[in-house]
Structure 1
Amino acid sequence: MTTQSSSPSSSPFAIDHLKIVPRRFYGRWLSAALILLVFAFIINAFAHGQIEWKIVAQFMTAKVIMHGLLNTILMTIYAMTIGIVLGVIFAVMVMSPNPMLKAIAGFYIWFFRGTPLLLQMLLWFNLALVFPMMGIPGVFEARTVDLITPFIASLLGLGIGQGAYTAEVVRGGILSVDNGQTEAAKAIGMTRLTALRRIILPQSMRVIIPPIGNEVISMVKLTSVASVIQFSEILHNAQTIYFANARVIELLIVATIWYLAVVTVFSIGQHFLEKAFARNQRKAVKTVKLKATPVAIIEGAQP
């Protein structure tokens, strides 16, 4: 008996005759069109509104604006340096087995995270009402009102307040490292601080760096709060100018552009820092694996 094999085209399961039709995402096209329409409306409003763009271009590189820009960058760097140093110290203290250190660190974090930044700056700026004189009696004394300038008050408010947030970031990074690393360090005779410095903190950096970078970017914008106590950063200097020439929106646009420029530079730096650290960490892990391989072979060869 002979059987006839049916051709693929005559089979009821053949798909050769079907046409592949790409999926249409009409919702995406509609949402994109609406977003473009909103952007076009906003750009048109700024382009044809009562904004003198010549004034914006004139004050973009004005001396007083450049001075404010420099103060903003320096305040960001100084305040974040203080915040990172204090954050590491108080993160170690809050995880210490010493109850006194733990209580002090807990109070510090609770207080400075629980009070507004503007309130902290005002407290530092008006510290002379509580301590009229500061210094060591008989050695050095000065009036507090002369020592606590707008710059110092801003630095203390931003730096010490940032330390409380950084402490929680560092604590989270330390907790992300497996507890076996600490136990292994203790087993080979390392003290707690040595293990923290040489083993725990380097491994926790992959968790710490991204939020710290975000805090740096936030600090750039938080410096604008210091304009309340007359610290001459970008916003304060822009306000000083538009109080004189009444060009409010133009000077606010100048300040906005410079804030965005500084934040963009810091964001790019954060991106490359994260990539460099991730690359170094991969190299370190690879080196450890290569060094551990011969040991494993030798141990496996033992009877």
Structure 2
Amino acid sequence: MFGNWNWGIFFEQAPFGNTTYLDWLWAGFQVTVALSVCSWILAFILGSLFGILRTVPNRILSAIGTLYVALFRNVPLIVQFFIWYLLVPELLPASIGDWFKGELDPNIQFFIVSVCCLGFFTGARVCEQVRTAILSLPRGQKGAGLALGLTLPQTYRYVLLPNAYRIIIPPLTSEMLNMVKNSAVASTIGLIELSAQANKLLEYSGYAYESFLAVTIAYIIINIVVMRLMKLVEKKTRLPGTFGGE
């Protein structure tokens, strides 16, 4: 079986686009990286915001955070993709919805929808990690901040969140890796990311093993880079005498 593999297929001319099959995979690789980065930024912002809301002494704000987590953690990701793509544009004001559906380039549509879907989905998981980290801190830290004259928002910004983020760097790394893998689901609504390019390569060339082995290696490379970067962040932010410090 191994002797029949044709690794030169990647350098052959694609049937359209004046590119090679390798260029197809490279384009998909770039889309996957861009999608993962943009989605992670959104997820981190949302997760931090709602994680804070779930810990503040206000029942209404806490309930909003709880509702967000319950909604986006309990609905399958693939269902959320179709809700974002088919339903959400219909709920927007008519002028915005018509512009999004009728005038915006379809590839940009797919990308924006995918970023929102992955961002909100992963943000719900980040929210729980931020909440757990804040609640795990000694109560004296919050009290000390308030005793120094800081407002509650300032106490979160300068005292609680810096320590909480240090605690959850490892689980945040896992969420980043999961996001890279979950990005493949975006192909179901039409985004031509890495896995979709592999399917297209298989369809036009007929080389299944080569196509999906190349994609597997590409995902592994992305995840190794993510792990190394987060390991560096963890090392740079470690404080002696604290949880995880030396």
Structure number with higher relative contact order (C-alpha < 8 Å, ≥ 6 residues apart): 2
What is the aligned partner in structure 2 of residue 282 from structure 1? 240
Query: CA-to-partner distance for each residue in 1:37-69, whole Å, 9 max, x for gaps?
Result: xxxxxxxxx634x43233357699821211111
RMSD of aligned C-alpha atoms?
A: 2.5
> Identity of paired residues, percent?
28
Mapping of residues 183-194 of structure 1, within 5 Å: 183-194=143-154
Q: Structure 1 residue 142 and structure 2 residue 98: aligned? A: yes
TM-superposed CA distance for 1:153, in Å, is 1.3
Q: In the aligned structure 2, how far is the partner of 1:142 from the partner of 1:235?
A: 30
What is the aligned partner in structure 2 of residue 206 from structure 1? 166
> 1:73 aligned to 30, 33, 40, which one?
33
Q: Structure 1 residue 240 and structure 2 residue 197: aligned? A: no
TM-superposed CA distance for 1:196, in Å, is 0.8
TM-score, length of structure 2 as denominator length = 0.86
| 1:248/1:172 CA distance change after superposition, 3 Å | same
Q: In the aligned structure 2, how far is the partner of 1:205 from the partner of 1:132?
A: 35
Q: Structure 1 residue 110 and structure 2 residue 64: aligned? A: no
CA contact 2:27–2:193 (8 Å) conserved in 1: yes
The residue type paired with residue 136 of structure 2 is S
What is the aligned partner in structure 2 of residue 196 from structure 1? 156
What is the aligned partner in structure 2 of residue 63 from structure 1? 23
What is the aligned partner in structure 2 of residue 295 from structure 1? none
Q: In the aligned structure 2, how far is the partner of 1:61 from the partner of 1:241?
A: 7
> 2:53 aligned to 87, 93, 108, which one?
93
CA contact 2:51–2:128 (8 Å) conserved in 1: yes
What is the aligned partner in structure 1 of residue 6 from structure 2? 52
How many correspondences in the alignment?
Answer: 233
TM-superposed CA distance for 1:143, in Å, is 3.9
CA contact 1:132–1:143 (8 Å) conserved in 2: no
TM-superposed CA distance for 1:142, in Å, is 3.2
Mapping of residues 145-184 of structure 1, within 5 Å: 145-146=101-102, 149-184=109-144
Q: In the aligned structure 2, how far is the partner of 1:232 from the partner of 1:116?
A: 21
CA contact 1:227–1:235 (8 Å) conserved in 2: yes
Q: In the aligned structure 1, how far is the partner of 2:33 from the partner of 2:179?
A: 10
Q: In the aligned structure 2, how far is the partner of 1:89 from the partner of 1:222?
A: 22
> 1:252 aligned to 196, 209, 212, which one?
212
TM-score, length of structure 1 as denominator length = 0.71
Structure possessing the higher radius of gyration over alpha carbons: 1
TM-superposed CA distance for 1:273, in Å, is 1.4
Q: In the aligned structure 2, how far is the partner of 1:179 from the partner of 1:249?
A: 55
What is the aligned partner in structure 1 of residue 233 from structure 2? 273
| 1:141/1:257 CA distance change after superposition, 3 Å | closer
> 1:120 aligned to 66, 71, 80, which one?
80
CA contact 1:132–1:145 (8 Å) conserved in 2: no
SS state at 2:57 partner? coil
| 1:204/1:129 CA distance change after superposition, 3 Å | closer
Deviates more, 1:107-116 or 1:197-206: 197-206
| 1:159/1:128 CA distance change after superposition, 3 Å | closer
